[in-house]
A and B are shown apart, each in its own frame.
Chain A
Amino acid sequence: MNKPIVEITALRKSFGTNEVLKGIDLKVAPGEVIAIIGKSGSGKSTLLRCINGLEQFQEGALTVDGKPLIHESAMAMRELRQRVGMIFQGFNLFPHLSVGRNVMLAPTLVKKKDVVDAGEQARKLLLRVGLAEKFDAMPDQLSGGQQQRVAIARALAMEPAVLLCDEITSALDPELVGEVLRVVESLAEEGMTLLMVTHEMSFARKVSDRVIFMHQGRVHEMGPPAEVFGNPQTPELKQFLSSLND
């Protein structure tokens, strides 16, 4: 494995007295696509949110692209977050800004891009997610699937090395899931490093290089999708997979 782009060592995280992550070790190679599966409450979303510092962890270490995560340092966090993009279940577009402005905001503020360059980049990214004609639309005029694709374009505008996807299709009507997954799949093909928490098992199977099954705050089982889905080793994973087929 070449130099990992995300490296997590002995990470522990508690909410009060409730320990949600009980020592996570994970190395992610550049360009790798990882699907994280598990029951709700297994800590998979929390793990993802630790990677860009939305959650503070108590013990362990985490680096992205060689940059350490240091909560106390606003500078270090700003550096690290420029390398990590995140897409949320609830889209979280900025409702007071047009689609184009949503994509342009962070590059102009954080990367000090001038407005013309940022606008050009935003148009390119919107074209890439199939929404070129929506540049001037407001977020509430778009369907959920379209909003989520704008959110992807917005994250890509910061040119991240890693993209975190936190159940990004869970809030969508079934007929809109496909358009979002197709965009994610194209990103995977272009070599983007992806970590996604997902309930779309067939998608995870098709796109990911590695599947992580989380159970009670630990990485319970991990491997290539064919093995994890085809030949589960632990009773917990067997039970989880069979519960999906009910």
Chain B
Amino acid sequence: MVEFSVWDIFRNLLLAARWTVVLSLIAFIGGGLVGMGLLVLRLKKWRWADRAVGGYVQLFQGTPLLMQLFLAYFGIALFGIKTSAWVAASVALTLYTSAFLTEIWRGCVASIPRGQWEAAQSLAMSFGEQLRHVVLPQAVKIALPPTVGFLVQVIKGTALASVIGFIELTKAGTMITNATFKPFVVYSCVALLYFALCYPISLYAKILERKIR
């Protein structure tokens, strides 16, 4: 029987952790872009857009991410499109992240006094100029800590992608356990790696929050 050292285990987990990072980045960039688009739609004050986005947010906040992953994985296949765990996980996590981010950011924009919009309007600025030059620069300051905080949730959320066969940190942990029969050691390493990813970000969010105050 082959013996696995702790270093063997750790090294293989570290390699798998790359995909956790990549998936998190996809979720965050994709979710950020979609979330920003949804925010703009909502700020335009078209009644239908506000309702539709509100429903979208409720849908993704009110169902478990695990179900969203299943539905993306099996749902896309239902339309006859050949899908991979990569695509399904990216789509599901992007949508999930966008729903939360658009809601966080909406709150931040709403906290900017109405007078700022009015002053920009009365100076003949267009909606895009008001948003880009007056409101967003102020809202970003407020949005930064909760946004960075949410990034931590997303990183941990990627663990669920293991259920549709996406090989990231958690899935790799399960596979290594099956080979080594050392679940405690393996999952301790997995937890440690998640912590190593998330802790610096949490710390950074705290520092940001203090800076702004």
* A→B interface (CB under 8 Å): 52-54, 74, 77-78, 81-82, 84-86, 88, 90, 92-96, 105-106, 109-110, 151, 154-155, 158
Contact = CB atoms under 8 A, between A and B. Distances in A.
B122 A85 contact: yes
Contacts of B138: 94-96
B118 to A, nearest CB: 6
A54 B122 contact: yes
Interface of B: 113, 115-116, 118-127, 129, 133-134, 137-138, 141
Contacts of B124: 77-78, 81-82, 106, 110, 158
A99 to B, nearest CB: 14
Given A94-B134, A96-B137, A109-B133, A81 B121 contact: yes
Contacts of A151: 119
Contact of B116 (A53, A92, A110): A92
26 contacts: A52-B122, A54-B118, A54-B122, A74-B127, A78-B126, A81-B123, A81-B124, A82-B124, A86-B119, A86-B122, A88-B115, A92-B118, A92-B119, A94-B119, A94-B120, A96-B138, A105-B123, A105-B133, A105-B134, A106-B124, A106-B125, A109-B125, A109-B133, A110-B129, A155-B122, A158-B124
A151 B138 CA distance: 18
Contact of A88 (B119, B126, B141): B119
B179 to A, nearest CB: 55
B124 to A, nearest CB: 4
Contact of B123 (A90, A95, A154): A154
Contacts of A92: 113, 115-116, 118-119
Contact of A106 (B115, B116, B123, B137): B123
Contacts of B126: 74, 78
B119 A81 contact: no
10 closest Cβ contacts across the A-B interface?
A106-B123, A92-B119, A81-B124, A86-B122, A92-B115, A82-B124, A110-B124, A96-B137, A109-B129, A78-B124
Nearest to B112: A95
A120 B182 CA distance: 73
Nearest to B121: A54
Contacts of B123: 81, 85, 105-106, 110, 154-155, 158
A93 B141 CA distance: 17
Contacts of B122: 52, 54, 81, 84-86, 155
A110 B128 CA distance: 12
A184 B61 CA distance: 53
A78 B129 CA distance: 12
A77 to B, nearest CB: 8
A109 B125 CA distance: 7
A40 B101 CA distance: 41
A88 B121 contact: no
Contacts of A96: 137-138, 141
Contacts of A155: 122-123
A94 B129 contact: no
Contacts of A95: 138
B143 to A, nearest CB: 14
Contacts of B113: 90, 92
Contacts of B125: 106, 109-110
B133 A90 contact: no
A113 B174 CA distance: 62
